[in-house]
Amino acid sequence: MITLGQRRPVGVAGQQFLLPRSEIKRFSPRRRDTYIQNAIVRILDRVANGVTVSEVSSATGFSRPTVSKHLDILVATGEAYKNERGNLSIFYKNGKVVHEEESQSISTPDKVYTFYILQNGDGRFLYIEEKEMDEHRSVTVRGGITISMKDLPSVMKRIEELHK
């Protein structure tokens, strides 16, 4: 069980699915990196309210610089995203919608856009997720954007201006 300041405790049972450190050290550098990233993704999958570098480090025994490096790689590859709160970075699994109040989708011939209204401790947000279908009708999440509901009127105004 991990706690952080005012955040609720998060159960990150990282050690139970990790190999012994001595075995991980025997991996080739590439295999070790892949193993560590996969371990971090498993933690992100289990924790809806996000994790910090310190929480992942405490749960896994990996050093903070190692965890930070691999979380940054996961963000860069789109597997995770980072939310900055002051000087604290909280990481979430990408493609995992949490705190959903409602959703609606619209389809074009090759894409689906899903609009989610989200509510969490930071406020209300609109999350727009873009999905693409390939020739086999397999759906891939291509990206998304989160907009604070308080900012939505000015964003919509600018979109209207660009659309003219």
CATH number at residue 55: 1.10.10.10
CATH number of the domain where residue 118 is located: 3.10.450.700
Q: What is the total count of domains within the chain?
A: 2
Helix, strand, coil percentages for the chain (3-state, nearest 5): 35, 35, 30
Together in a domain, 87 and 117: no
Q: Which of 93, 115, 146 is the last residue of a domain?
A: 93
Q: Which of 69, 93, 117 is the last residue of a domain?
A: 93
Per residue in 49-100, pLDDT (tens digit) is: 889 999 999 989 899 999 999 999 988 877 888 888 888 899 988 765 666 7
Residues 89-142: tens digit of each pLDDT: 999 887 656 667 788 999 988 888 999 888 876 778 898 988 887 777 677 777
CA-to-CA dists, residue 123 to 4, 49, 67, 156, angstroms: 20, 14, 28, 19
| Domain containing residue 125 | 100-163
Nearest to 128 by CA among 119, 137, 115: 115
Where among 93, 117, 146 does a domain terminate? Answer: 93
Please measure the distance between the N-terminal and C-terminal CA atoms of the chain and give it in whole angstroms: 53
Helix/strand/coil for 71: helix
Residues for the chain: how many in total? 164
User: Does 67 lie in the same domain as 109?
Assistant: no
pTM, whole model, 2 decimals?
Answer: 0.56
Do 136 and 66 lie in one domain? The reply is no
Alpha carbon 9 to its chain's center: 18
